[in-house]
Amino acid sequence: RFQIHLDGTHTHHLTQSSAHKWMSSINDVVDGFLTRMTTSASRFHLWAKDRPLPEEILKEERTLIDNILGKDSSKGVSLVKTWGRCQTIIGKGNYGTVRLIASQDPCIPSTRLYAVKEFRKRRSESIQSYVRRLTPEYVTALHLHHPHVVQVFDLLPLNDKSLLYCQVMEYCDGSDLFHQISQIPSGLVAEEANCYFRQLISGVAYLHTMGVTHRDIKPENLLFTSKGCLKITDFGSSFCFRPKENARWVEYSRGLVGSEPYMAPEIFVEKEYDPRPIDIWSCAIVYMVMRTGSYIWYVAKKEDDECYSRYLRFQQRENAKARERLQRRAKLGRWDVLESLEDGPKGLIYHMLNTDPSKRMTSQQVLKDSWLESIECCQ
């Protein structure tokens, strides 16, 4: 899975998780069984065969979505016509299912694999609400082009009559970071975690230069190729803090967004906040999870998490008059949640986990950190 060579370089050999392979095998068996069934009354609804919508409602929905995306509704494009039929399930989530599709690439004389993420309309959901949930992620991701960001290619209906919209994306054949960490309870070796961390920071720094914050950085949203190239995915929670190109002002975001163990403390207490520092905080937590195999706290709220409360007491030591006394107490009380780290990453992670977002390092500052620049990165 990870190999360090005598010259100090390394290589990754990653594969999809066994759960994905098992799910794919079961899906193939079930699909084959259902195909052999001849009576329509006993057939289940397949992924590609949703219940039909009334024609006027379907037309209204298609027109509304196409207008937002700048597409011509009269052309009648669909996933099946443009990219082909999907088969293998490679993931599932609250949003729906992700499947694999093999499509002919017009640029090269061979087929290419893509991932297709479904967006299924909820039963009680209005067309307007569905469109608001469907289009922002695609519109944001479509304009992002970076080695460490999953490329998005298209958003279109499954077929002429389906209420299901599908987003076609780059396929990553090496599973996700959550799977990699779950295989090693004690955490990844330092060289492997460092390589992934540098790639992650590169991707996040690019997003910030494009005026986009992810707001849900976590291992489940970090995919890999089989050669260990990390790619950020799932922009459903993303936020454009610079709505206009070259704008000098930053638009603040609102509300509770993200996954609790990775959420910055200001999210819980501020009505509005700069979304860029929360990505930096999340990246630091991801690094600690990679190194330790566990969370350093469950939620960054002093009153709800004793581990985070100890961390706050440790950070306050820098401004205390009785610094030496507090340092001794910190060591005895194990307030330093980063004590297992080497000096290089420890100093950087502390700055990324500054509880004051105005003093937290920016993505560009993290990129220029001397320890980060010294990391042997294979990508």
Query: Which residues carry out catalysis?
Result: 216
**Order of strands, sheet of 96-104, starting from the edge strand that comes earlier in the sequence:** 89-93, 96-104, 111-119, 165-170, 152-157
Query: Around Cβ 274, how many Cβ atoms within 10 Å?
Result: 17
Element (H, E) at 222: strand 222-224
Which amino acid, one-letter code, is at 119? Answer: F
Which of helix, strand or coil describes residue 116? strand
What is the token pair recorded at 144? 């992002």
Helices (H), the chain: 18-36, 55-69, 79-82, 127-142, 177-182, 190-209, 266-269, 275-292, 306-315, 323-332, 343-352, 363-367, 370-374
Evaluate the CA torsion angle 182, 184, 185, 187 in order and state its sign. negative
279, 217 Cβ separation under 8 angstroms: yes
Instruction: Please indicate if the annotation marks 71 as binding a ligand.
Output: no
48, 85 Cβ separation under 8 angstroms: yes
Which of helix, strand or coil describes residue 152? strand
State the binding site for ATP: 117
